[in-house]
Structure 1
Amino acid sequence: MYQTLLSSLENGILTIIINRPDKLNALNKDVFADLDKALVEIYSNKEIRSVIITGAGPKAFVAGADISEFSGLSLEQSKALSKSGQDTFFKIENAPKPIVACVNGFALGGGCELAMSCHFRIASDNAKFGQPEVNLGLLPGYGGTQRLVQLIGKGRAMELLMSAGMIDANTALQYGLVNHVVPQEELLAKAKSILDIINTKAPIAVAKCIESANAVFDETKNGYEVEVNAFATCFETEDMKEGTTAFLEKRKAVFTGK
């Protein structure tokens, strides 16, 4: 089904592994095409409740973009490349189901940008994050300048962007870039334990949490207005009736996503 991804669906959790370990899972056109294909499936397949994205092998989540594809691009082609990468990462960020990055090893350049487009991040203790694009005479082009500032604040983001510095997993935790740091062998289990809990919640309510939280950073939207409309939408669902009834009857709710 995919040239560069391995995927498996278990207990409602789709695990996607970027599988180019010989290239440290670097992002190229094929990876982006496969991610776009996977996102169509994620959006449309009701059996998928949540998603993990990780990289093959112990060394790298994604060590960057495939720089060999950058040479000789015209101004218009370079704009199209940046826009195309941004569009894929917007689809991840705005997916109606939780997408978690499990960062094993290097998440650099486009890899750091991919991780930041996910709804949250869990790192193994050998993870390293950075945006080294200035070393190439470039800057992050897939949304990294925006999301890094959103996630760790302007001052810290500016320093990392301009110095091409790398931070380790514990610094990323301290900065708020990742939610948890665990030993590498526990990385996927940690993500699954969190997603198993989220998967018991009302799917429409979860989707509306994502939509409303994302509106904080969208200048075209009034986040409070998005929240009001999302709240009202949830009020009309069968899941809301089930959730409130179960609460009053002191039993566990069974949600159907309707």
Structure 2
Amino acid sequence: MAAAALGGLGLLRGRLRLRLRLGASSPSSSSSSSSSSSSPLGRGAVAARAASGRSYGSEAREEEELRVRYLDDEHKGIVVLGLNRSHAKNALNKNLLKMMSKAVDALKSDKKVRTVIFRSEVPGIFCAGADLKERAKMHSSEVGSFVSKARATINEMANLPVPTIAAIDGTALGGGLELALACDIRVAASSAKMGLVETKLAIIPGAGGTQRLPRTIGVSLAKELIFSARIVDGEEAKSIGLISHVVEQNEAGDAAYRRALALAREFLPQGPVAMRVAKLAINQGMEVDLVTGLAIEEACYAQTIPTKDRIEGLLAFKEKRPPRYKGE
């Protein structure tokens, strides 16, 4: 029963346009594009990874639409995916979706990855949704394929086995907010001086928002917000569970990223295998009744019993020392 539940559950997909607007003005100092790859707060350091392996560079090229950084030192295990289409406000086009899909595919099989943070490398914008200029040039037969690809890519992100955090330091429109909804945790930045967090929803062909929003904030409230296209400020967005944390924006314009990084560091001391099966149990269990959910939890827990990480955790507890997990 548990095995069937683990293997056979799926999510219906819906259509929705969601708009999350964050007033996040950034001074010119925040747009610097060069820093050490060991500095997680810099915008320019990049470690680009292809499916065949990992390559590192001290600086990202301007044309890179997705920057992938594997952090080091005390942040080792944290990977940052940075949207970087400044000329198009990070709008999702074919190339960006392809790059995101490849990056996610590499991450899901990398046992050294502990947490993934999605952020923007462009000040003041998280993601403007689909690239409508590119879509306008598509033949009508291509549109459906493009939307399906966007939906599939966001689903791949949602299915990453490790915790994911969306650091929203700017506007998120349509597919941009749907991308954030696919993450486990959402952190947004706002300021009385720079504007409030706003959310505006309107129905259009989308990438799963009509399904993820009700699962995030509840069916009745999701319908109310969708039907009314109501704008809510940051505190209300947090109070209804749309956003996990709202932080005051800083002068560098990266307050949400800094908070996301702090959260990710809290996850690092935990057993990596346990984290992965916990996420699986939660995600799958939320789609079924309680009895089936408990069976899923039992099956997931059974996977941790023979692992080296579990033995290391027990030894560390007995010896009163920090565990040395290897993700095995």
TM > 0.5: yes
- Residues 63/171 of structure 1: CA separation in 2 closer, same or farther (3 Å cut): farther
- Residues 104/46 of structure 1: CA separation in 2 closer, same or farther (3 Å cut): same
Which residue of 164, 182, 207 corresponds with 2:229? Answer: 164
- 5+ residue gaps, structure 2, are 1-47, 49-62, 191-195
Correspondences of 1:143-222 after superposition (within 5 Å): 143-185=208-250, 186-218=255-287, 222=292
Correspondences of 1:241-252 after superposition (within 5 Å): 241-252=311-322
Q: For the residues of structure 1 that align with 2:267 and 2:103, how far apart are their CA atoms?
A: 21
Which structure has the larger Rg over C-alpha atoms?
2
- Residues 29/165 of structure 1: CA separation in 2 closer, same or farther (3 Å cut): farther
Q: Given that residues 157 and 182 in structure 2 are in contact (C-alpha distance below 8 angstroms), is that contact kept between their aligned partners in structure 1? A: yes
Tell me whether 1:229 sits opposite 2:299 in the alignment: yes
Q: What is the deviation of 1:216?
A: 3.0
Q: For the residues of structure 1 that align with 2:226 and 2:146, how far apart are their CA atoms?
A: 20
Tell me whether 1:92 sits opposite 2:153 in the alignment: no
**Which has the larger helix fraction?**
1
Q: For the residues of structure 2 that align with 1:22 and 1:159, how far apart are their CA atoms?
A: 34
Q: For the residues of structure 2 that align with 1:227 and 1:7, how far apart are their CA atoms?
A: 33
Higher relative contact order (CA 8 A, sep 6+): 2
Q: For the residues of structure 1 that align with 2:318 and 2:158, how far apart are their CA atoms?
A: 35
Q: For the residues of structure 1 that align with 2:318 and 2:130, how far apart are their CA atoms?
A: 52
Corresponding position of 2:180? 115
Residue-by-residue CA offset, 1:57-116 (whole Å, 9 max, x unaligned): 332111221123444654x64443333222111211111111110011212210110000
Q: What is the deviation of 1:151?
A: 0.5
With normalisation by structure 2, the TM-score equals 0.70
Q: For the residues of structure 2 that align with 1:183 and 1:163, how far apart are their CA atoms?
A: 28
Residue-by-residue CA offset, 1:108-149 (whole Å, 9 max, x unaligned): 2101100000111111115433333x3xxx24x201000000
**Mean CA deviation greater in 215-224 or 141-150:** 215-224
SS of 1:64 mapped into structure 2: coil
Q: For the residues of structure 1 that align with 2:126 and 2:162, how far apart are their CA atoms?
A: 21
Q: For the residues of structure 2 that align with 1:67 and 1:164, how far apart are their CA atoms?
A: 21
Tell me whether 1:240 sits opposite 2:305 in the alignment: no
Q: What is the deviation of 1:204?
A: 0.9
With normalisation by structure 1, the TM-score equals 0.88
**Mean CA deviation greater in 213-222 or 63-72:** 213-222
Q: Given that residues 215 and 223 in structure 1 are in contact (C-alpha distance below 8 angstroms), is that contact kept between their aligned partners in structure 2? A: yes
SS of 2:232 mapped into structure 1: strand
Residue-by-residue CA offset, 1:172-219 (whole Å, 9 max, x unaligned): 111111111112333222111111121221111111111111113446
**Mean CA deviation greater in 47-56 or 220-229:** 220-229
Which residue of 170, 175, 185 corresponds with 1:105? Answer: 170
Q: For the residues of structure 2 that align with 1:56 and 1:246, how far apart are their CA atoms?
A: 39
- Residues 128/61 of structure 1: CA separation in 2 closer, same or farther (3 Å cut): farther
Which residue of 111, 131, 145 corresponds with 1:80? Answer: 145
- Residues 129/35 of structure 1: CA separation in 2 closer, same or farther (3 Å cut): farther
**Mean CA deviation greater in 56-65 or 112-121:** 56-65
What is the root-mean-square deviation of aligned Cα atoms in Å? 2.3
Q: For the residues of structure 2 that align with 1:166 and 1:7, how far apart are their CA atoms?
A: 33
Identity score, percent = 32
